[in-house]
Amino acid sequence: MTSPNKKKYLVTGGAGFIGSHLVEYLLKDGNEVCVLDNLSTGRTSNLLEFREDIEFIECDLSKPGIWQSEIRRFSNIFHLAALADIVPSIQNPVKYFQANAAGTVNLLNGIKDFKHTKIIYAASSSCYGIPEKYPTDENEKIDPKYPYALTKRLGEEIVLHWSKVFGVSAISLRLFNVYGPRSRTSGTYGAMFGVFLKQKLANHPFTIVGDGTQTRDFTFVSDVVNAMVTAMKSSIFSGIYNVGSDRTVSVNRIVELLGGEKVFIDKRPGEPDCTFADITKIKKEFNWYPKVPIEKGIEKLLDGISYWEQAPLWTPEKIREATTDWFLYLGKNNE
């Protein structure tokens, strides 16, 4: 049955970890969804279960192109597309600027009607650097320690500046240590849970950065998706909000819950010993609360671990061979 409140949503980065969960939620809520993704880090396998229910535009937001005219029909936009990871951003800062900052400008330039558009921007808590107080609220000093953090912060500033000058409704959600099914396991410098899942599947010991006593505000992906949808549906025009779990847990405790041997590696510079979101503001203004404790989240993660053993890593070429109408394929150079 079609929802009487059915809407059309655009999700950039919708083939990624968080994005694919958001797409799935929106579809189950009876909405139409279009995904924009260049598949540099996103995986088409994340969307296989509902590929026939979405429109997919393969494009690179860092390059202006005809995809910009395609998005003018959307007034509800979730902007998640970005390059992540610390070390690669240090190795190639220009690439990160183009993807995370210039890509955000290009997205905004594709919007037809600012005053009737709402954007939810997936920001990063890494903008705080190493905070002076915990839990950390939205007024904490901004001090990004590496190019990834800087470019995500620039994206946030761009979106909020467009809101101030051009009247587009924009809410920035600063996410803290998101985890859950579909966490990316590829790459040398992936997020911790993705790396740990890959190691567990291979029966390898968990590699712990530092001594493992550092604590993190691990937020389950369904809670993050709920925060994004709540922000989109709210009447609030603009603002910045932390999204966290309301607690911290040590990396050693995570390994204990996952179960397995561990080895320790050198700590990386610029990483805080603690992340802990003060979520007073989002609780008060959106009536949003995290629902999944870390123990339950890891239980869900382990229950679905067969996903990682079975999910095919489809290439864009294989997808185009298998289907003719899923992709609105615009080409690698958006020509």
Q: What is the pLDDT of residue 161?
A: 98
Tens-place pLDDT, residues 109-146:
999 999 999 999 999 999 999 999 999 999 999 999 99
Q: Is the pLDDT of residue 190 over 70?
A: no
pLDDT higher than 60, residue 316: no
- Read off the pLDDT of each residue in 55-82 and give the average, rounded to a whole number: 97
Query: Contact 232/291 with Cβ under 8 angstroms?
Result: no
Q: What is the C-alpha separation between 153 and 251, in angstroms, rounded?
A: 26
- Other Cβ atoms less than 10 A from the Cβ of 205: the count is 14
Span 7-26, mean pLDDT? 97
pLDDT of residue 4: 61
Residue 322: is its pLDDT beyond 80? no
3-state DSSP helix/strand/coil % of the chain, to nearest 5: 40, 20, 40
Where residue 200 falls among pLDDT bands split at 50, 70, 90?
confident
Please write the tens of the pLDDT for every residue from 239-255: 999 999 999 999 999 99
pLDDT tens digit sequence for 76-91: 999 999 999 888 999 9
pTM, two decimals, is 0.89
Per mean pLDDT, which range of 69-83, 179-193, 210-224 is the poorest?
Answer: 179-193
Q: To the nearest whole number, what is the mean pLDDT of the chain?
A: 88
- Is residue 261 packed enough to be buried (19+ CB in 10 Å), middle (13-18) or exposed (0-12)? exposed
Measured CA to CA, the distance from residue 163 to residue 238 in angstroms comes to 7
Both tokens of 170, joined, read 């924009």
Q: Torsions phi, psi of 192, nearest 5?
A: -55, -50
Instruction: Examine the pLDDT at 319 and tell me if it is beyond 60.
Output: no
Return the pLDDT at 185: 63
318 vs 62, higher pLDDT: 62
**CA-to-CA separations, 298 to 75, 175, 196, 230, 301, in angstroms, rounded:** 36, 18, 12, 24, 5
**How many other C-beta atoms are found inside a 10 Å radius of the C-beta of residue 247?**
15
Domains of the chain: 8-179+220-244+276-292+312-329 (3.40.50.720)
CB atoms within 10 A of CB 110: 21
310 pLDDT band, cuts 50/70/90, is very low
pLDDT in the model for residue 169: 98
Tens-digit pLDDT profile for residues 285-301:
999 999 999 999 999 98
